[in-house]
Amino acid sequence: MDQESITRGLISGIVDHYIREITQDPNRSVRKLLDMAERTSDGPTQKICYQMMQQMAANQSSPYYEMIHHLVTHTDPRTIRQFGINLGHNAWTFGSGNIRRIVNQSNPCLSWAVFFDRAAVPERIPFSAVKDIVKRGRKLDIYAWLILASDSLDEWNEYTELFRDNPDSVFGLYVLPGVLKEEILEEAADIPNLMFFLSTDEPDWQIKADELSDKKLLYSAARIVSNDAQAEEILSGSWLEELVPCHPLMAFSIAADTLSEETARAIKNYMWNTRLDQLYPILPADLISDFVVINHLITNHNILYRVNADGSVSAARELLFESSSLKYTDLFVS
């Protein structure tokens, strides 16, 4: 058994121990876990994240304790353990260290995470292309992948094969609630490295959120923001207020390409400040800008890639994705 396998085994045992403790005493157990994680972390990304979490945890009346307690009592412990280790250790520690070394040696502009837009359009590239990109990325120790499936899960069998073939990675799957049929939820319950990003842009999305919770599936809420009217629902706080009764772990705003930079920046600032102010038992995040910040901490480059349905590649350097000269065949080619 190699050292990395031993490390993962030790972390797994520690996480299981604290999951049990958190159900009894969330405040004390979370602080102990964060203190231990900060002391043992050795990468800048992990240290900064844990230090920020420690600052939040110092507020003993923080609603984030309610969020964490709900997570450990309403999510399959296997999912908490595997998703947490894959993200916190593989993507942010072990993987980020290797990505940093690669960047320092050959200076490629690597993205710690990659988005895939799988809109069901006639010119959509085959799913085999997605698998090839993940395979190439995994050779560079990239562990985080987000698939924007939106209103179609026609490739569900391909998705499940991809998730299961890469058990050490984390996958986010953005979907409209109407596509999450019972048989999909049943199968997803056995995929512990998956988080659903549930769109809240359909009526009665709360019903599907309850179903996800009943199945003990890991899920967050998400909204693609395309115009100022949608942005105002976020900036007014009404969107986050709407989410609270359904207990998503996180609330992700995702700026559409059509959004103005001014509005995208306002949303970024709002989500950042609301997260620090700890106003809700939900962790707010502006997906693009937050992922770019993480990439900067890892590689000192501001970059995030999205593989579009037609095979073109868009890149975000701060707030919005913009077209680039890259094709999907260019990504992670040595």
User: Which residues lie below 8 Å from residue 48, measured CB to CB, with a gap of 6+?
Assistant: 297
Q: Specify the CATH number for the domain of residue 85.
A: 3.20.20
- Select from 133, 190, 181 the least CA-distant residue to 160: 190
Q: How many CB atoms lie within 10 A of CB 312?
A: 17
pTM of the model: 0.88
Express each pLDDT in 138-178 by its tens digit: 998 899 999 999 888 999 999 999 999 999 999 999 999 99
Six-digit token string for 189: 């319950």
Q: Is the pLDDT of residue 68 over 90?
A: no
- Select, from the ranges 20-24, 99-103, 202-206, the one with the highest average predicted confidence (pLDDT): 202-206
Distance CA 153, CA 156 (A): 5
Q: Is 102 exposed, middle or buried (0-12, 13-18, 19+ CB in 10 A)?
A: middle
Whether the Cβ atoms of residue 287 and residue 256 lie closer than 8 Å to each other? no
What angle (nearest 5°) sits at the alpha carbon of residue 44, between those of residues 261 and 33?
105
What angle (nearest 5°) sits at the alpha carbon of residue 316, between those of residues 312 and 321?
60
Print the domain residue range for 306.
3-330
Distance CA 68, CA 283 (A): 10
At 72, the pLDDT band (50, 70, 90 cuts) reads confident
Helical residues (DSSP H) of 25-144, grouped into ranges? 26-40, 44-57, 64-74, 77-85, 95-106, 127-139
Express each pLDDT in 299-334 by its tens digit: 888 999 999 999 999 999 999 999 999 999 999 876
Buried b (16+ CB within 10 A) or exposed e, 120-155: eeeebbebeebebbbeebbebbbbbbbbbbbeebeb
Element (H, E) at 13: helix 3-24
CA dihedral 43, 49, 313, 151 (to 10 degrees): 140
Say how many domains are in the chain.
1
Express each pLDDT in 7-66 by its tens digit: 555 556 555 555 565 666 655 665 555 555 555 555 555 555 555 565 555 666 789 888
